[in-house]
Structure 1
Amino acid sequence: MTDLDAEAPPLDALAEPTVRVRAGWIGTFALAWFAIWMAQLVPVQLLLPAQIDAVLHPDDWTESVLAFGVISGIAAVFTIVAYPLTGALSDRTASRFGRRRPWILTGSVLFALALVVLGFQTELWAIGAGWVAATIGFCIVTAALTATISDRVPVGQRGFVSGWMSAPQSIGIIVGLVVVTMLVTDQAAGYAVLAVALVVLVLPFLRQPDAPLVGAERERVSARGILSSLWISPRRYPDFGWTLASRVLVSIGNALGTSLLLYFLMFGLGDANAEDDLLILTLVYMVFVVLASLVFGKLSDKLGRRKLFVFVAAVLQAAAALLLALVPDLGAAIVGAGLLGLGYGCFLSVDQALATQVLPDAASRGKDLGIMNIASAVPQAIGPLLGALAVVATGSFTLVFVLSAAAAILGGLAVARVRSVR
């Protein structure tokens, strides 16, 4: 028995999993997500805005915010294509190493290389191109990695395991911020450290088994077939449609509430220690995301309920955003970070479990979850642009947080329309 077969995979790559995954699988899964989130979100929270601001040196600070928003919006366009396309390709991959592992490795390497190159860019167009390449790599690796939940994890364990997909998000942000603000303060070196950590920490998951497609399961690969499969009718699969809509709205709410925090501290509050205070806010947010992800994910499995938890999560996020809109000071921001972390942590784990239960076809899990991932990734990319436009229009951050609250509430209401899952 080889290392790759240390834990026996299902006999059929398309079978609904019934055997609970072990601690080793969950541990390497969580470690991979920790590295991915660190490589994605530390640039979004700090490195990329600071790099853009250093290049522009604008007289009006809103120009820097707008440039960051535009670059994020362009990256979102590529996300819309990359997620379902690479998910569909992984569904059809007939490698002896399985369907998902080749794409996890490919995406990680592309993501890491793009980050290294990005760190040396000093012109706005080059920064944008580097971030687009990094985003494509992120989409490739996460489309395949997310699909392993449906491939390997039984329904009764998915809330808990999904918690280990979301909990590392906050840990990755805080660890990454500490590294690039206290240990490696050079811009290029900061990006490089994130890139190396990404590849090194994803590798252990590649030792986990990944059942290959057998002859009868292999579908002929054609451009027309892949493109036609990217459309999922909301009339035919309404629960998938409502879950997708809910995720889009809640994710937009979260993106509006978090993506401009550095600018909010610097220009909204006039905070002279904005980077240090961002670290404090992120730490508070992290603690509550981790607790909520693991506790509510497991509780959702135990009770066999998903929709109630998603709605409560949306309400908590809306409360956090309204607090920042009505009481714009550092103390309120710390409380808001706790509420936002509690709500988003609950949402991340339970909504991911819900998404795996409304997929139309076992043969296209990667593609379908890739489409579902768009609902998370695109809002995170366009959130800064929407927020920037709101700031430019009003000259303050109040409208940003009001929009964040409204989107979260609408997302909570949308999930109530799901019928096949409690």
Structure 2
Amino acid sequence: MIGDTDGRVIALGLARMADALGNSFLIIVLPLYIASGQVSLGGLVGGDLFGVAVGEELLIGFVLSLFGFVNSFGQPFTGRLSDRLGKRKSFVLFGLVLFAIGSVAYPFLTDYWAVLVARGFQGIGAAFTVPATVALVNDYARSDSERGGNFGVFNTFRLIGFGFGPIVAGVVIRFGPYPTPFGLLSGFDAAFGVAVAGAIVSFLLVYAVVNDPPTLDAEAGDDLSVRILERSGPGRFDSVFVLGVATFFMAMTIALFAPLEAPIRARLNEGTFLFSVQFAAVVIANVLLQIPIGSASDTYGRRPFLLAGFVILVPAVFAQGVVSTPLTMLVARLLQGVAVALVFAPSLALAGDLAREGQSGSTLSVLTMAFGLGVAVGPLTAGFLYNAGRLSTPFTFGAVAALVALVLVYTQVRESLPTDADSGATPLGED
């Protein structure tokens, strides 16, 4: 499939791989950097926030979650603006510059609030980069029958960067400091340098290979609201809105696992290595399956894969709260990865099918915003529900959310492509 893919899509995928590697670096590095004592917490630890004692973990959680919130809430604005201006490449490049500036700043920041601002600044950069990038992948599809394949290739490269970033980050920090002609370079500074390098590589790839496809004048308008009800059926939810809700629930279930490392390891009596393998299992399954599933959705339709994904997601998430051995946890995580792969590329492709000419940035930003919000909300949800109940509570909640997503997709999302069974049907959005 890769050999038949537009070279610009591959370039965007490689750019996002380098960028995702740098961002996942920071997900691992920033908590360690703050906990190392090199960042002053200014007496914040031990305070009170709405009746909750402020600890170092909570402050680290704010830093990590801020990126997701700023990124997600900014995407509807930047996605629509990229539609109106028709300059998606410029948005991607500008966002990468902002991300690189934030990474360069970290070694010079010694105050918690300054680190928080830098991470928020990077969130703004991602808000410019993400919707414009997925809109370009959508725009490069020469027909609906190759859109799923495009997103499968793109997501595969992105997930490789995101999945292997934490491993490389651990190695870089572990073997620091490093001698240089200018003195020793600490492991933290080297890690921040890798994040900067990832942004630079992404910038050069996009600048050299990617171009804005010719489009019609966009009818984006000034309304930034998300359409909730389907215009053709009173009381029926809009398919893209439902996909956004379902994507939010899916992303939230992905983010439940990592914050519960200590209680999971204690229950399964396992070490850090086994936990890291279980954590990576979701990403590995996605890397292996994104391209074939994306391509298959071009042939057999989007909806069957979405439904199959959420059917598998429900028991896979629930099982993580009740399994008692490392092997069964690994199986549950692999099944969750299969479920996410079944949903990810087909949902983006379906939203791209429904997007009007010149409005793919606005339409696809609904899904990318929802995914970012889910990833940001997931860790907070996991911590709160674990403290309120037991280890199984967050995963039971996640399974219920996945079940709600399944019902919504089954009842509210129609197929966007004509299939062999309904070859005479008109694709949704063109009636």
Give the structure 1 partner of residue 204 of structure 2.
203
2:327 to 325, 331, 334: 331
Could you say if the C-alpha distance between residues 176 and 79 of structure 1 is closer, same or farther in structure 2, counting changes exceeding 3 Å? closer
Could you say if the C-alpha distance between residues 243 and 268 of structure 1 is closer, same or farther in structure 2, counting changes exceeding 3 Å? same
For 2:91, give the aligned amino acid. Answer: W
What's the offset of the Cα at 1:238? 1.6
For 1:379, give the aligned amino acid. Answer: G
Give the structure 2 partner of residue 301 of structure 1.
298
For 2:327, give the aligned amino acid. Answer: G
Within a 5 Å distance, the mapping from 1:21-100 to structure 2 comes to 22-44=5-27, 46-55=28-37, 63-93=55-85, 99-100=87-88
Normalising by structure 1, what TM-score?
0.81
- Rounded to whole Å, the distance in 2 between the matches of 1:421 and 1:106 is 33
Normalising by structure 2, what TM-score?
0.79
Within a 5 Å distance, the mapping from 1:12-411 to structure 2 comes to 22-44=5-27, 46-55=28-37, 63-93=55-85, 99-153=87-141, 154-185=143-174, 186-206=187-207, 207-211=209-213, 217=217, 226=222, 228-236=223-231, 238-256=238-256, 258-260=257-259, 262-265=261-264, 271=270, 273-274=271-272, 276-303=273-300, 305-359=301-355, 361-394=356-389, 396-411=390-405
The answer as to whether partners of 2:286 and 2:340 remain within 8 angstroms in 1 is yes
Q: Secondary structure at the match of 2:416?
A: coil
What's the offset of the Cα at 1:333? 2.7
Could you say if the C-alpha distance between residues 62 and 306 of structure 1 is closer, same or farther in structure 2, counting changes exceeding 3 Å? farther
- Rounded to whole Å, the distance in 2 between the matches of 1:327 and 1:334 is 10
The answer as to whether partners of 1:37 and 1:172 remain within 8 angstroms in 2 is yes
What's the offset of the Cα at 1:119? 5.0
- Rounded to whole Å, the distance in 2 between the matches of 1:334 and 1:109 is 38
Give the structure 2 partner of residue 13 of structure 1.
none
The answer as to whether partners of 1:160 and 1:301 remain within 8 angstroms in 2 is yes
For 2:370, give the aligned amino acid. Answer: A
Could you say if the C-alpha distance between residues 357 and 62 of structure 1 is closer, same or farther in structure 2, counting changes exceeding 3 Å? farther
Per-residue displacement from partner, 1:28-75 (whole Å, max 9, x unpaired)?
12202212322333433x223334444579899994443344344444
For 1:161, give the aligned amino acid. Answer: N
Could you say if the C-alpha distance between residues 282 and 102 of structure 1 is closer, same or farther in structure 2, counting changes exceeding 3 Å? same
Could you say if the C-alpha distance between residues 160 and 362 of structure 1 is closer, same or farther in structure 2, counting changes exceeding 3 Å? same
The answer as to whether partners of 2:75 and 2:369 remain within 8 angstroms in 1 is yes
Could you say if the C-alpha distance between residues 329 and 87 of structure 1 is closer, same or farther in structure 2, counting changes exceeding 3 Å? same
What's the offset of the Cα at 1:101? 0.8
- Rounded to whole Å, the distance in 1 between the matches of 2:138 and 2:34 is 39
Is residue 2:415 matched to residue 1:413?
no
For 2:317, give the aligned amino acid. Answer: A
Pair member with larger Rg: 2
Relative contact order (alpha carbons < 8 A, sep ≥ 6): 1 or 2 greater? 1
- Rounded to whole Å, the distance in 1 between the matches of 2:155 and 2:167 is 20
For 2:319, give the aligned amino acid. Answer: L
Moved more, 55-64 or 347-356: 55-64
What stretches of structure 1 move > 6 A for 4+ residues in a row?
56-62
Could you say if the C-alpha distance between residues 270 and 118 of structure 1 is closer, same or farther in structure 2, counting changes exceeding 3 Å? farther
- Rounded to whole Å, the distance in 2 between the matches of 1:165 and 1:208 is 14
- Rounded to whole Å, the distance in 2 between the matches of 1:139 and 1:107 is 7
What's the offset of the Cα at 1:419? 2.4
Structure 1: gaps spanning 5 or more residues? 1-19
Q: Secondary structure at the match of 1:363?
A: coil
Amino-acid identity (%)? 22
Q: Secondary structure at the match of 2:146?
A: helix
The answer as to whether partners of 2:316 and 2:333 remain within 8 angstroms in 1 is yes
- Rounded to whole Å, the distance in 1 between the matches of 2:63 and 2:269 is 25
The answer as to whether partners of 2:75 and 2:131 remain within 8 angstroms in 1 is yes
Could you say if the C-alpha distance between residues 245 and 178 of structure 1 is closer, same or farther in structure 2, counting changes exceeding 3 Å? closer
Could you say if the C-alpha distance between residues 259 and 165 of structure 1 is closer, same or farther in structure 2, counting changes exceeding 3 Å? farther
What's the offset of the Cα at 1:196? 0.8
- Rounded to whole Å, the distance in 1 between the matches of 2:324 and 2:405 is 25
The answer as to whether partners of 1:306 and 1:351 remain within 8 angstroms in 2 is yes
Could you say if the C-alpha distance between residues 282 and 331 of structure 1 is closer, same or farther in structure 2, counting changes exceeding 3 Å? same
Structure 2: gaps spanning 5 or more residues? 47-51, 175-186, 232-236, 418-431
The answer as to whether partners of 1:62 and 1:392 remain within 8 angstroms in 2 is no
Please identify which structure carries the higher helix content.
1
Q: Secondary structure at the match of 1:133?
A: helix
Please provide the CA RMSD for this pair: 3.1
The answer as to whether partners of 1:170 and 1:289 remain within 8 angstroms in 2 is yes
- Rounded to whole Å, the distance in 2 between the matches of 1:145 and 1:193 is 22
What's the offset of the Cα at 1:288? 1.2
